[in-house]
Chain A
Amino acid sequence: MDRKVYFKGRALPFLLLLPQLAVTAVFFLWPAAQAVWQSTLQQDAFGLSTSFVGLENFAEVVADPNWRGAAWNTAVFATSVAVLALGVALFLAVQADKAIRGQRFYRTMLIWPYAVAPAIAAVLWLFLFHPNIGLIGRALNAAGVMWNYQLNGNQAMLLVVIASAWKEVSYNFIFFLAGLQSIPKSVLEAAAIDGARPLRRFWTVVFPLLSPTSFFLLVVNLVYAFFDTFGVIHALTKGGPGKATETLIYKVYVDGVDNLNLGSSAAQSVILMLLVIILTVIQFRFVERQVHY
């Protein structure tokens, strides 16, 4: 892990580290500490005085039916996005791994959505599913489905899931394809000679070999669904109709920026930080066992 030969000196490495450490301290550690500190404070109704309340904010957040609703929305949303994005990407990657013509074309056409910002992905799908001007939205209404994601909570959820998963398929596709291409052909040939049919070969040989990739992607997809999809929800539904698409991260924003309820917003932030830390630790423990540097 460490080098045997290195340079001497103490001031120089410190100077080299300084910019990174300064930015980290000012914009990461200090705000994170502030979030933890604020989460233990409460302002009175007029914002005149602030008092220390310990863990009361956390107790209130967890007991709040709105927060529980947002937690439930987040669970539904994140699970749907991850399952949809991983499933579709794996299927497409298996197809693209076959020896067929036009492989490069397919690959290019399937990876570019990665470059589209989540908020823009939302706008593109809005153009399709808008009840008045969207191709699919109008077709659904013409077919007798009462389609209006601005009024129907389930439809709104469906739309934010599709827009969020669409973009993430590209990302998963790249990793699944790389994983598939790293499986030695001899393993597959051995299975084929033993008489295993393609589908059986996939589930008994290929899929187990892909499981480290799949696990890594699952964690990445969950983190993406928890945090990066803020743009999708903000651009498409603003958490509505009602609170049907309000996720935890969106609620942190609404409570902190719109409602100026800093104590509660900070407590929610701290809960989310714990969630990220747990996910990151799981991922690194797992990756460390799988990948040898």
Chain B
Amino acid sequence: MRAVVDPDVLARQAERRQVLGRWLAHGALGLGVLVFALPIWITLMGSTHDAATIGRGDVPLLPGGHALENYATALGQGGGRSMSTPVGGMLLNSAIMALLIVSGKIAISLLSAYAVVFFRFPGRMLAFWTIFLTLMLPVEVRIIPTYQVIVDLNLFNSFAGLSLPLIASATATLLFRQFFLTIPDEYVEAAKMDGAGPLRFFRDILLPLSVTNIAALGVILFIYGWNQYLWPLLIVNDRSMETIVVGLTKMIGNGDAQNEWNTIMATAVLAMMPPVLVVVLLQRWFIKGLTETEK
């Protein structure tokens, strides 16, 4: 009796395992995609039917004929029963808030990272650690006192109040600092030799080199800014300043079955569209930004 294993049999076994593994992969990923897409699909379909259909509990799985009017109602009038804020205005508010946060954060962290990396001055490390400390204080844990500051500074119901407390961030500064440290000393020497001052160096050499990092960070920050919830909820009570994410949950209220669910679903679609599009269309920047900032 020979106990030698036939290599062909082994190879066939391995191949069978691989094919099986691939089927398992397709099955699992397909299921994952379905679970991820199901809530969106239901919402999208719901937004194309009339309120009565949804209110009855006939959950539509296919598109209906009311898409245009639902989206027009949402954008122009809003969908709350008691209080209506037009979604168009809220989208604009969210966009302004998100863009202010993106540009503010990038600007102040570029400048401070530049100062910390390319200069030697007393208190440099103290400044760095002060900035670093903010990493540990998410806005949620200091809401009441921060709110008090906003009221004292008269920034209640303003875009400055919405964005300023959120633009200081250690993560962006750390990212730029890390990137600046990789820039060869020769660049600085060459700039000095050519008689370029620090501001010239920053504008003509450092900024162009940082474009990739700025873009990647911008994508992440846009999502962060657009999706803010607790802060706008506290700092805004004027309906014309309402942001879309907060506005959407206010429309739902306690979740009564009599809500105008079709308009609410259209609003939900509109509310998540901008950040989702950013992630899908700018996927490469998004992944770069995510994996590099969160280290």
B121 in complex: contacting residue of A10, A88, A110, A265, CB < 8 Å = A10
Say yes or no: B138 contacts A108, CB within 8 Å. Answer: no
A65 on interface, CB distance cutoff 8 Å: no
Please, how many residues of chain B have a CB less than 8 angstroms from a CB on the other chain?
Answer: 105
**Which A-chain residue is minimally distant from B120 (CB atoms)?**
A6
Say yes or no: A7 contacts B271, CB within 8 Å. Answer: no
Q: Which of A1-41 contact B (CB under 8 A)?
A: 1, 3-10, 12-14, 16-17, 19-21, 23-32, 34-35, 38
A residues whose Cβ falls under 8 Å from a Cβ of B: 1, 3-10, 12-14, 16-17, 19-21, 23-32, 34-35, 38, 88, 91-92, 95-96, 98-100, 102, 106, 108-120, 122-128, 130, 132-135, 138, 150, 166, 169-171, 174-175, 178, 197-198, 220, 223, 227-228, 230-231, 234-235, 249, 252-253, 256-257, 262, 265-266, 269, 272-273, 276-277, 280, 287, 291, 293
B76 on interface, CB distance cutoff 8 Å: no
B248 on interface, CB distance cutoff 8 Å: yes
Dominant SS among interface residues on chain B: helix
With contact pairs A110-B36, A119-B245, A269-B141 given, residues A31 and B148 touching in the complex (Cβ less than 8 Å): yes
Q: Mark B8-26, 1 if CB is under 8 A from A, else 0.
A: 0000000001000110111
Instruction: Identify the 10 closest CB pairs spanning chains A and B, nearest first.
Output: A117-B227, A31-B145, A34-B145, A124-B39, A231-B229, A115-B275, A16-B115, A13-B119, A13-B115, A20-B112
Question: CA of A28 to CA of B37 in the docked complex: distance in angstroms?
Answer: 38
With contact pairs A92-B29, A273-B141, A293-B178 given, residues A119 and B249 touching in the complex (Cβ less than 8 Å): yes
Question: CA of A119 to CA of B229 in the docked complex: distance in angstroms?
Answer: 7
A96 in complex: contacting residue of B17, B29, B279, CB < 8 Å = B29
A-B contact pairs, 14 of them (CB 8 A): A6-B119, A7-B201, A17-B112, A27-B165, A35-B145, A111-B286, A113-B36, A117-B272, A126-B252, A127-B39, A227-B138, A230-B230, A257-B143, A257-B234
Say yes or no: A127 contacts B227, CB within 8 Å. Answer: no
Tell me which of B51-59, B66-74, B77-85 binds A.
Answer: B51-59
Say yes or no: A227 contacts B140, CB within 8 Å. Answer: yes
Q: How many A-B residue pairs have CB under 8 A?
A: 297
Q: Which residues of chain A are within 8 angstroms of B192 by Cβ–Cβ distance?
A: 5, 7
Say yes or no: A234 contacts B131, CB within 8 Å. Answer: no
B276 in complex: contacting residue of A115, A174, A198, CB < 8 Å = A115
Q: Which residues of chain B are within 8 angstroms of A30 by Cβ–Cβ distance?
A: 145, 149
Say yes or no: A7 contacts B279, CB within 8 Å. Answer: no
With contact pairs A24-B130, A28-B137 given, residues A120 and B248 touching in the complex (Cβ less than 8 Å): yes
With contact pairs A100-B25, A109-B33, A287-B295 given, residues A174 and B141 touching in the complex (Cβ less than 8 Å): no
Say yes or no: B138 contacts A276, CB within 8 Å. Answer: yes
B248 in complex: contacting residue of A96, A119, A170, A269, CB < 8 Å = A119
Question: CA of A59 to CA of B39 in the docked complex: distance in angstroms?
Answer: 44
B168 in complex: contacting residue of A27, A91, A262, CB < 8 Å = A27
Question: CA of A142 to CA of B268 in the docked complex: distance in angstroms?
Answer: 27
Q: Which residues of chain B are within 8 angstroms of A198 by Cβ–Cβ distance?
A: 17, 21
Q: Which residues of chain A are within 8 angstroms of B119 by Cβ–Cβ distance?
A: 6-9, 12-13
A234 in complex: contacting residue of B57, B115, B249, CB < 8 Å = B249
Give, as a whole number of angstroms, the nearest-CB distance from B127 to chain A. Answer: 5
Q: Which residues of chain B are within 8 angstroms of A92 by Cβ–Cβ distance?
A: 28-29, 32
Q: A111-B279, A118-B227 are in contact. List 17 more A-B contacts (CB 8 A).
A: A7-B188, A13-B115, A14-B121, A30-B149, A31-B148, A34-B148, A95-B24, A106-B33, A110-B32, A116-B276, A120-B271, A133-B55, A133-B257, A230-B140, A257-B143, A265-B144, A269-B144
Q: Which residues of chain A are within 8 angstroms of B35 by Cβ–Cβ distance?
A: 166
Q: Which residues of chain A are within 8 angstroms of B249 by Cβ–Cβ distance?
A: 119, 122-123, 231, 234-235
B38 in complex: contacting residue of A1, A20, A128, CB < 8 Å = A128
Q: Which residues of chain B are within 8 angstroms of A293 by Cβ–Cβ distance?
A: 178, 181
Question: CA of A138 to CA of B279 in the docked complex: distance in angstroms?
Answer: 33
A3 in complex: contacting residue of B181, B227, B278, CB < 8 Å = B181
Say yes or no: A112 contacts B279, CB within 8 Å. Answer: yes
Say yes or no: B255 contacts A96, CB within 8 Å. Answer: no
Question: CA of A174 to CA of B146 in the docked complex: distance in angstroms?
Answer: 33
Say yes or no: A256 contacts B143, CB within 8 Å. Answer: yes
B167 on interface, CB distance cutoff 8 Å: yes
